[in-house]
Structure 1
Amino acid sequence: MSDYVSLQGLTLTYGDTVAVPALDLEIAKGELICLLGPSGCGKTTTMRAIAGLLNPSSGTITIDGRDVTRVPPSRREVGLVFQSYALFPHLSVYDNVAFGLKMKKTPDLDARVKEGLATVGLSDFASRMPAELSGGQQQRVALARSLVMQPKVLLLDEPLSNLDARLRLEMRMELQRVQRETGVTMVFVTHDQAEALSLADRIIVMRGGRIEQQGSPEEIYNRPATGFVADFVGFETILPQEDGTALAWRPSAVELGSGPYEGRVQGVSFAGERRDYVLDTQFGQIKADVAAERPAHGIGETVAFDLPRERAVTLERAK
């Protein structure tokens, strides 16, 4: 697929602070990408620039072959779904979804609103007020309101963070379904690696305004390139090697109860089917997950453990 959204040499600043230095990123039409990283990594700043809410100091933004670097947000054909939903509390679901279409005096308004509500499964809720909806339903209204505008790109800024765990899972599946059915190009911003792994066609891991690694969810999860990415996707034991690379283990790869090393249990928590341990060792802090049916170890106890080389991932660099 050809590039549909293109960021070339994009530099974004806040005063004298460079938040994103010379970023290059290509997004294909119909692709769902996730910008993933901790607070302050530049992911939301990049999204705001694509939306037109932040003017770059240098570089270009192209959407569907059109340079929109200096085009105002209202003329970019970009939809936005925020973390806070941003619904009008005094308007019904129908009128919330219709709001943008009314502003543009769209002739087929009613048909598009009904189609949008059907797409997100809210056809029977058109007359409800936002206060009468659950958090997940309110997020669907916000999604429908953007979709009816038929955007070329749909930007979602941490849209699931206000929902409880069950609703987050439901909305992940809902977003995937809507994206498949509509074919809209989506850019999803999140700090939650589970969301990114479950949703994205491609994950862009950001750090300090730069792309640390990009790839499919499977590539990011199974083959992290650096210690930063590895730690972000659950490799919590990272040991530098003399050749400049590093080895990384997930807690489930650490063998507890036997092995050539010893550690003192600093913490233990029961997590249903497993127990999670934190050990103080010669390598520093080590985390291990052990099946709950295995013998339990108490805080302060010294236990043997192993870091099997065959269960480690080799990283290009530790940091």
Structure 2
Amino acid sequence: MTPILDVAGLTARHGPRPALRAFDLRIDTPGWWGVVGANGSGKTTLLRCLAGRMAPERGTIRLSGRACEHDPARRAAGVGLTPTLESLPKGISGADLVRLVEQASGGEGDPVAAVIEAALDLDAFWGSYVAELSAGQKQRLAVRLAFAGSPRVVLLDEPFNWLDPAVAHDLKTGLRAITREHGVTVVSALHDIGTLATWCDHGVLMRDGRAVARFSPAELAAARTDLAAFEADLVARVRA
């Protein structure tokens, strides 16, 4: 079986400091992967490299069997990534921004995007200018934009930041649905260990740019029986 995503020996730097150190990740089947770790552990750098927003120093990235570590345009075309809130243009409505991005990427009418759009309840502020939106509303818009162009791999950087509990729950439900019913692969950087254990299919713990632990579906299912113990174990590994 050709892996959906196959990353080997990925190394990247922020200036003189290594941000990723020989990172490996192989995804064979659609699902939701949660990547956890302390601030500065390399989560965002990993997502940016995978999405073609940052050039790795060494290593290989294969999407559906095709090497693309030296082809950021191919990575960007095949992978969706949440934009930063600061990068969202302010003088346009949320609806118009999504429409423009969808038209440019050819992803209009995608049923996966429709699931996510409904989960995010964008109608409540669809016609408002981005400059008028709260941080939580901008976050919802950023998550929606990650699905523009019908990508089969979607990278979400802290997608639940700023979201109220109801919207966060609906988004988690939507993400689970698209992985199971539409064959989408989601990789999300997370700080919430409860979300990792309760909602994700697979998990990765990062420390100092490396994957120091991986969690199978069975291990995450076991973690749900005692979340406090699982959290304590992860914190100990982060501090090791």
Q: Smaller-chain TM-score range?
A: 0.7 to 0.9
CA change 1:62–1:42 in 2 (3 A) is same
Q: 1:234 is matched with which residue: 229, 232, 235?
A: 232
The normalised TM-score by structure 2 is 0.78
Confirm whether residue 129 of structure 1 aligns to residue 121 of structure 2: no
Max radius of gyration: which structure?
Answer: 1
Range that drifts further, 212-221 or 201-210:
212-221
Q: Give SS of 1:206's match.
A: strand
Contact 1:130 1:138 in 2 (8 A): no
Confirm whether residue 64 of structure 1 aligns to residue 61 of structure 2: no
CA distance in 2 between counterparts of 1:150 and 1:36 reads: 26
- Tell me what 2:215 maps to: 215
Confirm whether residue 168 of structure 1 aligns to residue 165 of structure 2: no
Give 1:171 deviation, angstroms: 2.9
CA change 1:116–1:125 in 2 (3 A) is farther
CA distance in 2 between counterparts of 1:237 and 1:116 reads: 35
Contact 1:146 1:154 in 2 (8 A): yes
Count of matched residue positions in the alignment of Structure 1 and Structure 2: 231
Confirm whether residue 116 of structure 1 aligns to residue 117 of structure 2: no
Give 1:217 deviation, angstroms: 5.6
CA distance in 1 between counterparts of 2:82 and 2:235 reads: 36
CA distance in 2 between counterparts of 1:124 and 1:61 reads: 37
CA offsets, 1:96-118, max 9 Å, x none?
A: 212223335x4x84x45x98346
Contact 1:200 1:216 in 2 (8 A): no
Give 1:201 deviation, angstroms: 0.8
CA distance in 1 between counterparts of 2:235 and 2:96 reads: 52
- Tell me what 1:200 maps to: 200
Higher strand proportion, which one?
Answer: 1
Q: Give SS of 1:24's match.
A: strand
CA offsets, 1:33-79, max 9 Å, x none?
A: 11111111112111111011221111111111111101124654211
Confirm whether residue 39 of structure 1 aligns to residue 39 of structure 2: yes
CA distance in 2 between counterparts of 1:130 and 1:180 reads: 34
Give 1:87 deviation, angstroms: 4.0
Code of the aligned partner of 2:113: G
CA offsets, 1:107-159, max 9 Å, x none?
A: x84x45x9834652158568522557676554443333332301131110011
CA change 1:207–1:119 in 2 (3 A) is closer
* Percent identical: 30
Superposition RMSD in Å: 3.5
Higher helix proportion, which one?
Answer: 2
Code of the aligned partner of 1:234: A
CA change 1:83–1:206 in 2 (3 A) is same
Q: Give SS of 1:95's match.
A: helix
Contact 2:93 2:127 in 1 (8 A): yes
After the TM superposition, which residues 1-319 of structure 1 pair with which residues of structure 2 at under 5 Å, given as runs? 2-73=2-73, 75-82=76-83, 84=85, 86-104=87-105, 106=106, 109=108, 111-112=109-110, 116-117=113-114, 119-121=116-118, 122=121, 124=123, 128-130=127-129, 138-216=138-216, 219=219, 222=222, 233-235=231-233, 319=240
Give 1:15 deviation, angstroms: 2.7
CA distance in 1 between counterparts of 2:29 and 2:234 reads: 35
